[in-house]
Structure 1
């Protein structure tokens, strides 16, 4: 069934929600980065049940963070180009339709940006969950950690920040405050990973709405041209 009514209002609402979610994503990732460069660097005292206390560096030797950079890029694109850019595109689109009864070229450019932003979010979502899954399920070997005390970083394995600090919490940390701070920041790390799902869903909904609106406008314009040709042809 053909769409007769404009979808600019639901597009605007979805764009607003996407921008808010993108801002949340950027905030959570930035919080993780700040933690890694400050408190998360450690070292943290550990008291093995059958050994002498020692210090463990706050980050492992093989810490992977590219998934965080990708998520940051997806959030930034969704906020700046889709969110703020959408405000301009939708305003110009309304103005163009009201004055000249046609679409603004900026709206079509923005529609392409919405598509590219959705693809970037999809890549970030898949990459992050795959990387987390591939590096998950590991534990920190106290023997290896004790043999490589801080400032030497734990040498074994390959870790995402989320998996590393989850494993760190399984150790007998001496300071309860360390456990509290690490646990709080671990929650934010898990938060930005799962927030990518919401960003993906909102991006998909926006892409569908924009695609339907572009299709509706193009179909309407085609019908107008066809009708003009019929009315303008005396033989018809």
Structure 2
């Protein structure tokens, strides 16, 4: 019985798409981190009663950022271990099949890394959306914000960066430049959160192709199909 065609080519194509998507995600998270450490720290002038103003510290007292660290961990795993590691593993696999008529151990190690990476991405996806949902219905109490002069941080509740700056935009900001910069960076924050969905789907597609190729290799070893058919 002839074996099915090799899946190494589609594996390589999906790997390329996943690598690009992870690079985009990493750049979006990095832009958020840069914003938090520079402009996002404020303070922002807010319109008060009787044409007065007060300053709001750019970050709250209880800022939640672990979901960003988890996402960056998933991004780094995809880029380094799955991406660069995958290029090496696929090269060794093709070389081993052509030269030694057998599969490379590196391909099996890489398959395990792809599985763990997919789990990590799923964890980041769930964690980020749950944390954002838990803190998404909050509003900044105007009276508390007024009574908390900068550089003191707004003391109420826990906030993700995305939800905090969305709430800041609901306040009467004095500067249109502040509003424009915050809105731009808020869009980037929402972008990396939603980008976790295609990153997980691509990771799952890659894992599925790798598993199918491993099953094909197992059938080939059981049926003793010539390596020429495996490379077809």
Q: 1:185 to 1:122 in 2, by over 3 A?
A: same
**1:107 correspondence with 2:113:** no
Corresponding residue number in structure 1 for 2:228: none
Shift in CA distance, 51/153, structure 1 to aligned 2, threshold 3 Å: farther
Question: Taking CA–CA contacts closer than 8 Å with sequence separation of 6 or more, which of the two structures ends up with the larger relative contact order?
Answer: 2
Structure 1 residue aligned with 2:168: 168
Q: Report what 1:24 is aligned to.
A: 24
Separation in 2, partners of 1:203, 1:181: 33
Q: In structure 1, what is the equivalent of residue 158 of structure 2?
A: 158
- Counterparts in 2 of 1:201 and 1:50: CA distance versus 1, 3 Å: farther
2:3–2:220: 8 Å Cα contact kept in structure 1?
no
Change (3 A) 1:3 1:33: farther
2:129 corresponds to 1:136 = no
Once the two structures are TM-superposed, the CA of residue 49 in structure 1 deviates from its matched residue by 4.9
Match of 1:184 in 2: 184
Structure 2-normalised TM-score? 0.94
Q: What is the match of residue 195 of structure 2?
A: 195
Match of 1:233 in 2: none
**SS of residue paired to 1:10:** helix
Shift of 1:224: 1.4
Aligned to 1:234: none
What's the counterpart of residue 149 of structure 1?
149
Pairs aligned (count) = 224
Distance 1:222 1:16 in 2: 31
For residues 196-234 of structure 1, give each alpha carbon's deviation from its aligned partner in whole angstroms, at most 9, with x where no partner exists: 001100000000000000010011001119xxxxxxxxx
C-alpha offsets along residues 145-190 of structure 1, whole Å, 9 cap, x if unaligned?
Answer: 0001110100001100000000000000000000000000000000
Q: How far apart in 2 are the matches of 1:84 and 1:142?
A: 49
Residue 45 of structure 2 aligns to a residue whose secondary structure is strand
Moved over 4 A (4+): none
Task: Give me the whole-angstrom Cα distance separating, in 1, the residues matched to 2:56 and 2:149.
Answer: 6
State how far apart, in whole Å, the 1-side matches of 2:127 and 2:200 are.
Answer: 13
Distance 1:20 1:90 in 2: 18
Instruction: Tell me by how many angstroms 1:52 deviates.
Output: 2.6
1:48 deviation in Å? 3.0
**How far off its partner does 1:51 sit?**
6.4
TM-score, normalised relative to structure 1: 0.93
SS of equivalent to 1:13: helix
**Structure whose alpha-carbon radius of gyration is higher:** 1
1:62, 1:82 → 2: CA distance?
34
- Matched with 1:62 is 62
Note the residue ranges of structure 1 that are not aligned, 5 or more in a row. 226-236
Specify every segment of 5 or more residues in structure 2 that has no aligned partner in the other structure, as ranges.
226-232
SS of residue matched to 1:78:
helix
Equivalent residue of 2:55, what SS?
A: strand
Which residue in the other structure is 1:91 paired with? 91
Partner Cα separation in structure 2 for residue 62 and residue 51 of structure 1: 30
